[in-house]
Structure 1
Amino acid sequence: MIPYQNIMKNSSRVLAPLFNQTSRRYASTALASLDNIMGEVMDSIYEAGTFKPERIITTRQAAEIQVAGSSKKILNFCANNYLGLSSHPEVVEASKAALDKYGAGLSSVRFICGTQDIHKELEEKISRFHGREDTIIYASCFDANAGLFESLLTPEDAAISDELNHASIIDGIRLCKAERHRFKHMDMKDLERVLQETQKCRMRVVATDGVFSMDGDVAPLKEIVELCDQYKALVFIDECHATGFVGETGRGTEEFTGVDGRVHIINSTLGKALGGAAGGYTCGPKSLTDMLRQKSRPYLFSNSLPPPVVAGASKVFDLIMRDNSLVSKVAENTKHFRTRIEEAGFTIWGKDHPIVPIMLDDASLAGRFAEEMLSKDIYVIGFSYPVVPKGKARIRVQVSAAHTPAEIDKCVDAFIDIGKKLKVI
């Protein structure tokens, strides 16, 4: 019996009492068909070695955590908590105070009765941070990406996307009725080719991740901006893996590449470096955000961001605009980890970014490597298809400002031990 069949057999003992006999009788045929089809899908995932187990964390998100079934403290090198602020005392206290004052949630969408003063204050703060006219916040950046392209672009327009953009950008573009074009990953000659071919379009948006989350590489934003200036196209960047910690003051890929203020539309998240809770936003011209408040479906039909989340994110912006020392700490830790892991003989991708993909290629090997690392009290995850292309499986390490040099050394030493054991190095 393969693993998934074992899981289903065991879970049925728990779930069966939840279904009364009447509902099971009427639904049995349809449920049996669903179970069979889903079982086949899951079997194929197991056989391909790409099953992704979910580990259960029993503590707050931090550099050191615990997982279910173990009382040991383990080091977390697999979180988007780049600044280490998700459990910062001031952030937690701000969230608690908002819960007391504003309640758990609005029970509604923004335009009905779901906008509070703290939502407007956060939007103003984000705009000030990025140096833009206005900001509109969403439940997630996935929603922000889903809401932008469909609302902005018509059949007279064109969306031009890097082929390795995040799934949310890809899905957002799929929703719009504009012409859809892709250019080869970070290939400026191919981008120029597409820009030349689409000059007849009313409006064109070139979309790219600022930092590509699976590879840790930074978009050549200066070259993109210059091409778009030449061909009169708009530039859109997704800054989820850059906002708050990339660039000298954490202003992101614009600052890192020296093109401050030249990107037209910025989407990013509050759920990674900026507190780690939830939420996303679109930042840019007020004419754009005004339109999105009227037309963007994820904004119009999703509940407002809960007050504790809003307050926590707002406090994070206060912290990073007041002091950018955590940005320097992330950079120092990243350099230390990348230098040691490369010297050990591992193949890594990206440059100068706390996302460090350690390439293993084989999906089963990546999964086994991650389990072996956990036995050494290091939390990392193997990434395989469909999260990354087939044959490009990896361990994606994420370095945080919360890690100490000693913790980074412990992680690298564990990689070296397991790498030798599994004949990776």
Structure 2
Amino acid sequence: MDSALCIDHVRLTPVLVTDPPLLNTQGVHQPFTPRLVVEVITAGGVTGLGETYGDTPYLDLARPLAEAMPGRSVTDVNSLFALAAEVRAPAGPGHVDGRVDAGGLRGVRTADKLRLSVVSAVETACLDALGKTLGLPVHALLGGRVRAEVEYSAYLFYKWAAHPGGVPDAWGEALDPAGVVEQARRFDRAYGFPSFKLKGGVFAPEQETAAIRALAREFPGRPLRLDPNGAWSVETALAVARELGDVLEYLEDPVTGTAAMAETAARTDVPLATNMCVTTFEEVPEAFARGAVRIVLCDHHYWGGLHRTRELAALCRTYGVGLSMHSNTHLGISLAAMTQVAATLPRLDHACDTHYPWLTEDVVTTRPHFRAGRLAVSDAPGLGVVLDHDRLADLHRRWLDDDGTLRDRDDAAAMRAAAPEWRPTRW
């Protein structure tokens, strides 16, 4: 093994990042969201960067994995899954024999799924370090790019003007079709996104249908998507599909679970997409065999990294299933990783999601800039981003100063703090 590629140590830095009051079926984003920045430092003095979710269950899995990494090569990413399976989080609240037992929008949030998200950040950091050492971009390590730019979609949200007791943000309120359209206008002016996705499941389906219709009038011919995160019944989903079938690019996770998605898909011609019922390879056979989805939204955090994202893309090509890319609140490190792997996918059928324009803070020195809704694919060594150590320290200090209330994202708790009687609605 080349000693320069040997891992000397791994540094984990949890941070809290400012997040706007964006609404979804689970509640509202908290004022800050937790993320985890991973630095893999080689014996040759090169630092590779990765990023993933920063909630406590992820940290509890990341720490023992980080401790097991020194002495290994940054080229040895295929063994990360076996290594991660050997380490166990400490027993404690939310854990059973070292296994996490929690729920979420990607189905039952098992320790195996959380472990994949942790591995994804370590793999990305290893590839970044390898690329910097060899003088190659990450996309070259994945076989080379097939496109020079990656197209992204505007991510629209119903939102409050401010968090309760907070200062209004620059985006203002969006609680009706007019507010959604004005938000889309701002995205169009600032970034030139060619398509729009609305996070639904917040209001009655009729109101969200009206918002999509308003967008179609304002931006005729632009691809439009609606994602209620499984908040609807099959009959409601079918009614919305009938109403919006002439303007929707796709309907994302209108119902919960493969069975309900398959039933809905069999009764409508509107394409159904998912990042909820297909989030692991084990979930692929049933969903594809039953025709439950026509588009999978890949996510390297979910699937275990950049190499596994390419494996998923190959499966989708084989079975004639379309491909796009999911996003959660993320920093510039993850956006760079998303762009590098997206550049290598021979078929990327739809513009990728990104929350990034909503963020006002980052840990990279230069914020990526969207032009006509696209990001240029960096040919710089590694991911092409540089860590801002001072900003990282500031955001980590915020995490240290928190009393534990915000270290685990909980949209429902944030909503109930403002409206104690609130409960998720199923339409």
* TM-score under structure 1 length normalisation: 0.35
Looking at secondary structure, tell me which structure has more strand per residue: 2
Which is higher, the Rg of structure 1 or of structure 2? 1
